[in-house]
Amino acid sequence: MRERQRGATPYGVLILVFCLSPLCLYGQTAAAPRSVQDVSAPAASNVQPGPFYALVIGNQNYRYLRSLQTPIDDAKAMAQLLRDSFGFQTTVLRDATHDDILRALNDYRKNLPANSNLLIYYAGHGYHDREADAAYWLPVDAEKGDNTKWISAATITSDIHAMRNAQHVLVISDSCYSGYMVRDDPEAGINPGQRSAYLAKMSKSKSRNLMSSGGDEPVDDSGAPGHSVFAWAVMESLRQMNDDQFSTADVFYGFIRRKVGGQSEQLPQYSLIRNSGDDGGDFVFFRRPAAKAPPPVSSNALPPANPLSTRGPSGVAGGGGLPPGMDPKLADLYHRAQSGNPQAMADLGWYYAMGVRVPEDDKQAVVWYRKAADAGNKDGMTGLGTRYRYGSGVEQDLQQALSWYRKAANLGAQVAMYCLGEMYEEGQGVEKDRQQAVSWYRKAAQLGNVSAQNQLKRLGESP
């Protein structure tokens, strides 16, 4: 599962958001890929890739388990990026059941044309059954303690192995414990020689790879405006690649792993899927700004997705009248913030605080966090509290930090609750008070904050 902060609940979440440093959410707080020795293949420019397909799954509103916050927005944004920038034929499953997912996999298994490239993206709960030594995706009809509707890694691997027409299959899994599917796979150094020959070699050889949001651990489903930190990092990294052709290993080790690992405690993993038919290749992306998507693999089961809008980093459009250095893709967000939208103000504060798509500016971060906080936005309050806590863009004031954190916590902001727990435990602006620290950690943990769950475990307290 995707959880919220560090921790070890059995039904964990995808991406960690924590308040241990100034680079906290709404506050602030390399290994190499597999070896390639043969560089005698033809240049990548001569490679004629087959059609590209993407099955994108966002499971958020669970029937029997705790619902999540960002998977549907993550899935919509991911599908739009793959379709618009790389020419994928995308199919989006929102709140998919056990049967929905298996039926879609079966359709691809039967209907993919020869030399196809298939990307499977999953955002939702995941689970590692330690007694059975097995990892699972949890569809929206999954029940705790009953694996009838769980989808095992073995099932996914079996379906991928049977996709004989697929040249490349890449699974991107944004769920707890997803890295367990590829554990113990050794990493070897890449020696690509000429880049074009390397990409040609990767395209020529079959690949079956998994990119996971973390290892054998819970991960959180937030961390960036409207998205999990992992989904945000994947999308931002794909956009930032300068080359028109690049391998998944390129983007993972060059961008994604550092972006996620630098902003959370989870560390994404990338490896082959064992016993899946991998032959040493890699999934190669071809940027096609005006690409026409291939036809669906099934006329009735997998219709093309309609263009979808989303919140946060991928839901912004170009525009004029922007501050110096701001990416035009932030134009819509900027104008909504200027018009008084509280969430847009908080999101813009995050961009300035993190230096993403706009030059890092602590003072501007404070300006926008304060506007959002004054408008009653809990993310703005949390961000402003963190600015005061660490003296970033404003003179350090622990009393102001406590005040804004409390206001945000009263509105249900779990990150603010976690930060209050830290301040009481460490005696920041208050007398050290273990009881108060445990109380705030527990409130955050009950909302799924994984870091708070870990802190309670460390202190010997129950969630």
The pLDDT score that the predictor gives to residue 151 is: 94
The pLDDT score that the predictor gives to residue 271 is: 83
Query: For the segment 30-81, what is each residue's pLDDT rounded down to a tens digit?
Result: 332 322 333 333 344 455 688 999 999 999 999 999 888 889 989 998 998 9
221 Cβ neighbours under 8 A, 6+ residues apart: 2, 3, 4, 13, 14, 15, 68, 69, 70, 71, 74, 123, 174, 228
Q: Which option is the CATH number for 314-458: 2.70.98.90, 3.40.640.10, 1.25.40.10, 3.90.280.10?
A: 1.25.40.10
324 C-beta neighbours (distance < 10 Å), count = 6
| pLDDT exceeds 90 at position 188 | no
Q: Mean pLDDT across the stretch 82-87?
A: 90
The pLDDT score that the predictor gives to residue 8 is: 30
Instruction: Round the CA-based radius of gyration of the chain to a whole number and report it.
Output: 22
The pLDDT score that the predictor gives to residue 294 is: 64
Q: Mean pLDDT across the stretch 182-195?
A: 43
CA atoms of 457 and 459, how far apart (whole Å)? 5
CA atoms of 113 and 109, how far apart (whole Å)? 10
Query: For the segment 115-136, what is each residue's pLDDT rounded down to a tens digit?
Result: 999 999 999 988 888 787 788 9
Give the bridge partners for 122, in sequence order.
57, 173
| pLDDT exceeds 70 at position 192 | no
Could you tell me the residue ranges of all domains in the chain? 2-286, 314-458
- pLDDT: which is higher, 441 or 185: 441
- pLDDT: which is higher, 353 or 363: 363
- Give the Å distances, CA to CA, from 30 to 49, 139, 248, 269, 451: 29, 33, 14, 11, 25
The pLDDT score that the predictor gives to residue 52 is: 94
User: What average pLDDT is seen over the chain?
Assistant: 77
Band (pLDDT 50/70/90 cuts) for residue 260 is: confident
| Winning range, highest mean pLDDT, from 53-67, 162-176, 447-461 | 53-67
Which pair of structure tokens corresponds to residue 240?
């930032």
Which pair of structure tokens corresponds to residue 14?
């995808």
3-state SS assignment for residue 396: coil
CA atoms of 15 and 219, how far apart (whole Å)? 4
> Considering only CA atoms, which of 353, 331, 333, 352 is closest in space to residue 344?
333
The pLDDT score that the predictor gives to residue 298 is: 53
Taking a C-beta distance cutoff of 8 angstroms, is the pair 44, 200 a contact?
yes
2-286: CATH architecture: 3-Layer(aba) Sandwich (3.40)
